[in-house]
Amino acid sequence: MSDTAPAASAPAEPPQPEQPSKNALKKAQKDKEKAQPVVLPAEKKAAAKARELAERSKKDAADAADVSANAYGELPLCGSTDFKPTGKARASLADVSENEDKEITFRCWVENARVQSAKLAFLNLRQGLSTVQAVVAASEKLSKQMVKYCGSISTESTLVVTGLVKRVQEPIKSATIKDFEIHIKELFIEVKADVPLPLQVEDAERPLPSDAAAEDDQKQEEGAERPLVSLNTRLNNRTIDLRAKINQSIFVIKSGVCALFQEFLSKRGFILVQTPKILGAASEGGANVFELKYFDRPAYLAQSPQFYKQMLIASRFQKVMEIGPVFRAENSNTARHLTEFTGLDLEMEFQENYHEVMGVLEDLMLFIFKELNARYRKETELVRGVYHIDDFKLPESGNVPRIPFKEGIAMLREAGEEVGDYDDLTTPQEKMLGRLVLKKYNSDFYTLDQFPLAIRPAYTMPSPADPLLSNSYDMFMRGQEILSGAQRIHDSTLLASQMRKHDPPVDPESAGTKDYVDCFRFGCPPHAGGGFGLERIVQFWLGLPNIRMCSLFPRDPQRVVP
């Protein structure tokens, strides 16, 4: 131990793990047959505890004779002692190849630890998306006591490790770092993990059970050793579940989509805005809105920033974007609906034709896809690999297929589907059209333009080409909608009249709409925009089976915890 390192306390009595939950106990029993020494069935716990304590006392007595006495043990709770920081650089495992034959110190956590013999223990250590094999070998300078201690650390404990980076002869299959291993010199437990874990991280790395098995934890994946864990169990233990590399990757990509969205639009003069989420009156018809108590009156959660982003165009902001929560009180229990999701919204004035805005939206998404492939390839491949998902196909020409709704209907009819000229498409029809478009245009991304007026919101600009159509569009990924947008009516007289004619009618004089309608009386320029569902972009980019996987703590009609 270097003399600048923190003084470790003598390994203390481990805290008594709290009573495991029912689920955890069931899980632990199922795992009995598995050779994971840290997942102890409940009935063995007391015995194990006694054994551990006995060993600890022995160790305390033997410390004087232990040549490694200062090289391992438990650190005091960080921040609770007035210790001077060592300032010792902490290494990143991602850079391990640059440190061959050097000694590094790094924080990591334990994927698993096992005693091979009295003289040898192995640990799989993880930091971020990297995992590395570490060896603890007894020698004149490293005691057998330390070997035993290191090989018995509970899974998911956080460590500070010092060791030599050594090249290995044979690639290590079980780690992401294949060509190097760590020869441990010092190992301190910084934060010990309780046993048993309520969910194994390695189970969270595996795919969800298929739809048929979704409700049945017991069902085995073909050829798999252990049953796949249901989404509900994972979400109930989300802070463990999220530790899986697949989940870390999903949320790195989600963060990336937000960054790319802003990067592209900022360069084009968009400013980021925050519109209110608490509304004094329900807007946009008032259906599917959550009501709250606002001091002594009712108020409502915004179901989209639609009215406000348009009011900002009327306020001369020209181009605005927003990333914010969107709340929908819809009792939809599907794999692609959430009651709270993240909207990527934009609204902009245009000069002559709303297709200018569609062009911006298409270029935006092409930019995001291209940069996801460039900057987030590792994460994308890691996730798609688990589910065996095809690459996301983009048109080679760079021209996003922009298909008139009428043509989409014709394609569906040609494929044998019965659908009216002005009907809304069902979800299966949308998916079928996605397959037809992929076949015809070789693109998983496309736009439908000129939707029927009757199935769009009242503020949608009617089409000059056909009064039953409108200047509106949806964007799709792998046959599923990710954006809905349109040219909006920027004249208050026409807007009020369209609202009254709409089915169901909207009262332009009501508390939730009057300010909105009135703002178009004072010279608002023509404008269009759209709203993306961020979680859907991530879901369909990766080809994931359920949108809940793309929300850190998803909300649906059944779930508001954790």
Q: Which positions are catalytic?
A: 328, 330, 336-337, 481, 484, 536
- Per-residue tokens: 24: 């955890």
> Which of 5, 8, 159, 160 is CA-nearest to residue 86?
5
Name the phi and psi angles at 390, rounded to 5: -65, 155
Query: Per rule CB under 8 A, is residue 323 in the interface with a copy of itself?
Result: yes
DSSP 154-186: PTT-EEEEEEEEEE-SSPPTTSS--SEEEEEEE
Query: Per rule CB under 8 A, is residue 260 in the interface with a copy of itself?
Result: no
Residue 414 or 522: the one with the smaller Cβ distance to a copy of itself is 522
Query: Per rule CB under 8 A, is residue 50 in the interface with a copy of itself?
Result: no
CB 443 within 8 A of CB 479: no
Q: Which residue in the set 1, 168, 299, 454 belongs to the binding site for a copy of itself (CB under 8 A)?
A: 299
Angle (CA) 270-366-262 rounded to 5° is 25
Query: Per rule CB under 8 A, is residue 64 in the interface with a copy of itself?
Result: no
Piece in contact with a copy of itself (CB under 8 A), picked from 293-301, 367-375, 407-415, 417-425: 293-301
Query: Per rule CB under 8 A, is residue 4 in the interface with a copy of itself?
Result: no
Binders of a copy of itself in range 216-255 (CB under 8 A): 238-240, 242-243, 248, 251-252, 254-255
Residue 24 or 71: the one with the smaller Cβ distance to a copy of itself is 24
Name the phi and psi angles at 131, rounded to 5: -130, 150
Alpha-carbon gap, residue 272 to 316, rounded angstroms: 14
Alpha-carbon gap, residue 212 to 234, rounded angstroms: 17
Print the binding letters for residues 471-510 with a copy of itself: x by CB under 8 A, - otherwise.
Answer: x---------------x--xxxxx----------------
Query: Per rule CB under 8 A, is residue 337 in the interface with a copy of itself?
Result: no
- Per-residue tokens: 506: 């909207």
Length of the chain in terms of residues written: 562
Query: Per rule CB under 8 A, is residue 185 in the interface with a copy of itself?
Result: no
Query: Per rule CB under 8 A, is residue 279 in the interface with a copy of itself?
Result: yes
Task: Report the nearest approach of a copy of itself to the CB of residue 530 (Å).
Answer: 15
Residue with tokens 């930091």: 127
Task: Report the nearest approach of a copy of itself to the CB of residue 562 (Å).
Answer: 4
Residue 478 or 490: the one with the smaller Cβ distance to a copy of itself is 490
Task: Report the nearest approach of a copy of itself to the CB of residue 226 (Å).
Answer: 20
Query: Per rule CB under 8 A, is residue 280 in the interface with a copy of itself?
Result: yes
Task: Report the nearest approach of a copy of itself to the CB of residue 171 (Å).
Answer: 25
Query: Per rule CB under 8 A, is residue 191 in the interface with a copy of itself?
Result: yes
Q: Which residue in the set 275, 304, 380, 539 belongs to the binding site for a copy of itself (CB under 8 A)?
A: 275
Q: Which residue in the set 117, 139, 315, 332 belongs to the binding site for a copy of itself (CB under 8 A)?
A: 315
CB 205 within 8 A of CB 249: no
Binders of a copy of itself in range 530-549 (CB under 8 A): 534
Q: Which residue in the set 176, 262, 373, 510 belongs to the binding site for a copy of itself (CB under 8 A)?
A: 262
Task: Report the nearest approach of a copy of itself to the CB of residue 435 (Å).
Answer: 31
CB 372 within 8 A of CB 260: yes
CA distances from 554 to 174, 251, 342 (A): 32, 13, 11
Q: Tell me how far apart the terminal alpha carbons of the chain are, to the nearest angstrom.
A: 41
Alpha-carbon gap, residue 296 to 156, rounded angstroms: 48
Alpha-carbon gap, residue 40 to 197, rounded angstroms: 10
Binders of a copy of itself in range 76-135 (CB under 8 A): 77-83, 85-87, 90, 107, 109-110, 128
Piece in contact with a copy of itself (CB under 8 A), picked from 45-53, 64-72, 369-377, 516-524: 516-524
Q: Which residue in the set 26, 34, 102, 316 belongs to the binding site for a copy of itself (CB under 8 A)?
A: 316
Binders of a copy of itself in range 351-390 (CB under 8 A): 351-356
Binders of a copy of itself in range 421-460 (CB under 8 A): none
Sequence-distant (6+) residues with CB within 8 A of 313 are 320, 347, 348, 349, 490, 524, 525, 527
Query: Per rule CB under 8 A, is residue 293 in the interface with a copy of itself?
Result: yes
Alpha-carbon gap, residue 554 to 314, rounded angstroms: 34
Q: Which residue in the set 38, 39, 193, 482 belongs to the binding site for a copy of itself (CB under 8 A)?
A: 193
Query: Per rule CB under 8 A, is residue 333 in the interface with a copy of itself?
Result: no
Biggest distance spanned by C-alpha atoms of the chain: 92
Alpha-carbon gap, residue 157 to 244, rounded angstroms: 15
Count of residues engaged in binding a copy of itself, rule: CB under 8 A:
117
Query: Per rule CB under 8 A, is residue 25 in the interface with a copy of itself?
Result: no
Q: Which residue in the set 73, 163, 462, 533 belongs to the binding site for a copy of itself (CB under 8 A)?
A: 462
Element (H, E) at 527: strand 527-533
Within 13 Å, how many C-alpha atoms sit on residue 312's CB side?
23
Binders of a copy of itself in range 154-183 (CB under 8 A): 156-158
Residue 118 or 271: the one with the smaller Cβ distance to a copy of itself is 271
CB 521 within 8 A of CB 491: no
Where does residue 551 rank: exposed (0-12), middle (13-18), buried (19+ CB within 10 A)?
buried
Residue 220 or 353: the one with the smaller Cβ distance to a copy of itself is 353
Alpha-carbon gap, residue 343 to 279, rounded angstroms: 17
